[in-house]
Structure 1
Amino acid sequence: MSSSSSLSPRVAAIWGANGISGTAMIDLLIEQSSNEWNHIICISRRPFQLDINDKRIDFISIDILNSTVDEIVNELEKVNGKMITDIFHYTYIEKSTEDELDQVNKIVLEKALDACVKIAGKTIKSFSLQTGYKYYGVHKTREDLAALPFSENAPRHQGTNFYFTQEDLLEDYVKKHNWRYIITRPATIIGVAKGNFMNFAVTIALYATIQKELGQPLLFPGNLKSWNRISDHSTASNNARFQLWSVLNENIQHEIFNIANGDLVTFRDLWSKIENYFGIPHCEQKLNENEAQLKLAEYMPKHKDVWIRIAQRENLDEKAFDYATWAFADGSLRSPLDRYGNLTKAREFGWTTIVDTFDGYAQCFDRLKKLKVIPS
């Protein structure tokens, strides 16, 4: 990750440090030389979740949404935030309506920007904002979905989209303060963060653990169309590597990039690999064209007693079951529409990495074992 642009040590500020993406960036930054990155400031609402002993890390636990900018600045001052050079922003708050999602996620980004301007406006070199494929309407109706493959310059759909608001806000600030900005739009993110289970890979791991215990097949919780749907995924560690690479690449000034693993997959291809990983015998899936053969939101709560039995026997985190978002997984498997991005722009700037998507899932499952979320 070294770069000729890193002539003096840099200071990172990671907003949303306890999430899947923030965790991946911390993992990557602590691998870098202290001559390149000599201070890593991590900001999140929850207390620090990572078991890391690195003297470069300072952690701030603060509720951004319910704090004033001055209160945030005060916390940054305590850890010498005036030396921040590079910001990585991953903060995200889930809400049930698009308007709420838009309002609340604009506030948390705006407060981060205001606090950074106040404490380190003159030393900041770059601001890296992660948005995602929701920019292309993947969470909306077929009419809202951008043309395939999703391109960074795709026209915006009608109506509200919180990623439109965030990207516009960042562009306005950067013009005023002469920073570089890099916006990355990943696909479905594969990664693990302690205590954060709004994640398809985690949900499938818990489902597979229970099916293995019951001696039952791993029925696909979707339909024939979603089984065959072509999509791409974005492994969190690969996203972080791209984001750090782009921050250190002086040829990249104010750019927006799709970032994905680079392979196109179907659940038809992935499913047997997931069965093999968990040691569950392969079964032929008898799928309906449109109706899901299994709904996790209905099926899993009926088997909570099985989870409690496994967790107590294996000394696992019992709360994982309550935090898992079965309906979120069902929703992500309901869409029959292909969804994948064009990576040409990243390639043109020199990014050549391709990551095997199932390897990303396997890394997640391995980490869940270390975190005592699933049996080892």
Structure 2
Amino acid sequence: MSTALVFGANGVSGIALLQALSASSDKEWKKIIAISRRPPVLDHDDPRVVFESVDLLAPKDEVVQKLRHAGAAEATHTFFYAYIAKEDEQELIDVNRKLFGNAMEAVAEVSKQMKVFLLQTGYKYYGTHKGGENLASYPWKADSPRHEGGNFYYVQEDMLKDECNKNGWKWIVTRPNFILGVTKGNFMSLATTVALYASGCKALNQPLVFPGSSVSYKLEYDQSTAANNAAFQIFAATTEKAYNRAFNIYDGKTETFVDLWPKIADYFGVKLASPPADDPPSSANIGSDVVNLHSVPEWAKNHKSDLEKLVKEQDLDPDALKYATWDFLDFATSRTWKDRATLDEARSIGWTKTVDSFEDGFKPVFEELKRLKVIPA
């Protein structure tokens, strides 16, 4: 029997993993230790789940004490999702280096039964946040060359390998792309922001305007449903062939917004703009530029009072609009380069699952957001 130690347990990925572990037998996982700075944001009806509020930027002794209090001495498998966002690249690297380093050092001191440490990074490894010459050659593979310059994923993955070698642990890295899941907080959830945007368009009797250009509308993107990511991560953490390896993880089928955007509009009962996406200006550098033609942050700012009125009239969560990451939606729909990776590494260890990004990703998120009263039912 194993004990899971989950850092970042209140985020989209952490919550998905807790749910997947809770669906398992107690003969597989006897205890699930959930670590997050905040108290739990969603209910977890499983007596095996133990929450501990921990600030990973606190002095190491304090982190060690908290882990001991939570019972992390029994932990055998660590799953790490904790993250602090910063706009400046070097600040992002520095704060997440400290965050991750504190966590690993505390685990090494407390969890003497630790066997496997899994770190989730993502497609930024391949330069998808930068574009142009920073992009790795398609399709992106786990061993694709790193781009020039700083990237906090590179720092964390190197730290992981060093710490695991030092402590005799096995390491695993998983790299998803856009993660489709639910949490109550501002955690770059594309599906949550799309839901709030579409709900606003519905209430205002406006068409669902695509933020980017027709180029982005037609590009191939890998979507990574949180539940599918979690299932793979548990599979990998308990499969010896996965140890000391990195893996891409996405839903298994390439998607375009040509397919997804009309399904989203149909779900919310809103019309598509005509045409559904505008052409980019001739001056645009396709493959390097972010071409945003219809700013969703500007739309949200212009309709702030309307959206606040909708929240009150529908008796929604008073913080519903705070869960939107409008800038992230603009960026995700306005880049002029595709996201295409291979699942060859995951398939090589026996992972055969494929899920539908809308039916198994976006749609369940929308349904859960209704239940949580983040969007109107």
Which bin holds the TM-score, normalised by the shorter protein?
Answer: over 0.9
Note the C-alpha offset of 1:197.
Answer: 4.7
Distance 1:321 1:198 in 2: 13
Please state if 1:49 is matched with 2:41: yes
Note the C-alpha offset of 1:286.
Answer: 4.9
The residue aligned with 1:81 is 72
TM-score norm. by structure 1 comes to 0.95
Distance 1:279 1:211 in 2: 10
- Which moved further from structure 2: 124-133 or 198-207? 198-207
Q: How does 1:293-312 map to 2 (within 5 A)?
A: 293-312=293-312
Distance 1:197 1:216 in 2: 27
| Structure 1 gaps, min length 5 | 1-8
The residue aligned with 1:260 is 250
- Say if 2:33 and 2:51, in contact at 8 Å, map to a contact too: yes
| Structure 2 gaps, min length 5 | 282-290
Note the C-alpha offset of 1:179.
Answer: 0.9
Distance 1:104 1:89 in 2: 15
Note the C-alpha offset of 1:132.
Answer: 0.3
The residue aligned with 1:118 is 109
Note the C-alpha offset of 1:304.
Answer: 1.6
Please state if 1:34 is matched with 2:26: yes
Please state if 1:100 is matched with 2:91: yes
The residue aligned with 2:284 is none
Please state if 1:356 is matched with 2:347: no
The residue aligned with 1:346 is 346
Read off the aligned partner of 2:104 and give its amino acid letter: L
- Say if 1:135 and 1:161, in contact at 8 Å, map to a contact too: yes
Match of 2:189 among 199, 206, 210: 199
- Say if 1:64 and 1:72, in contact at 8 Å, map to a contact too: yes
The residue aligned with 1:6 is none
Note the C-alpha offset of 1:136.
Answer: 0.5
- Which moved further from structure 2: 323-332 or 24-33? 323-332
Note the C-alpha offset of 1:178.
Answer: 1.0
The residue aligned with 2:212 is 222
The residue aligned with 2:318 is 318
The residue aligned with 1:374 is 375
Q: Tell me, what secondary structure is at the counterpart of 2:182? A: coil
Read off the aligned partner of 1:278 and give its amino acid letter: F
- Say if 1:129 and 1:183, in contact at 8 Å, map to a contact too: yes
Distance 2:179 2:303 in 1: 27
Distance 1:252 1:293 in 2: 43
Match of 2:238 among 248, 255, 266: 248
- Say if 1:262 and 1:355, in contact at 8 Å, map to a contact too: yes
Could you report, residue by residue, the CA deviation over 1:207-251 in whole angstroms, capped at 9, with x for unpaired residues? 111111111111111111111111111001000000000111122
Note the C-alpha offset of 1:283.
Answer: 4.0
Read off the aligned partner of 2:305 and give its amino acid letter: D
Read off the aligned partner of 1:266 and give its amino acid letter: T
- Say if 1:11 and 1:83, in contact at 8 Å, map to a contact too: yes
- Say if 2:187 and 2:325, in contact at 8 Å, map to a contact too: yes
TM-score norm. by structure 2 comes to 0.94
Distance 1:127 1:322 in 2: 33
Count, aligned residues: 366
Note the C-alpha offset of 1:116.
Answer: 0.4
Note the C-alpha offset of 1:146.
Answer: 0.5
Distance 1:309 1:227 in 2: 31
Q: Tell me, what secondary structure is at the counterpart of 2:149? A: coil
Distance 2:46 2:252 in 1: 32
The residue aligned with 1:171 is 161
Please state if 1:14 is matched with 2:6: yes
Read off the aligned partner of 2:49 and give its amino acid letter: I
Q: Tell me, what secondary structure is at the counterpart of 1:99? A: helix
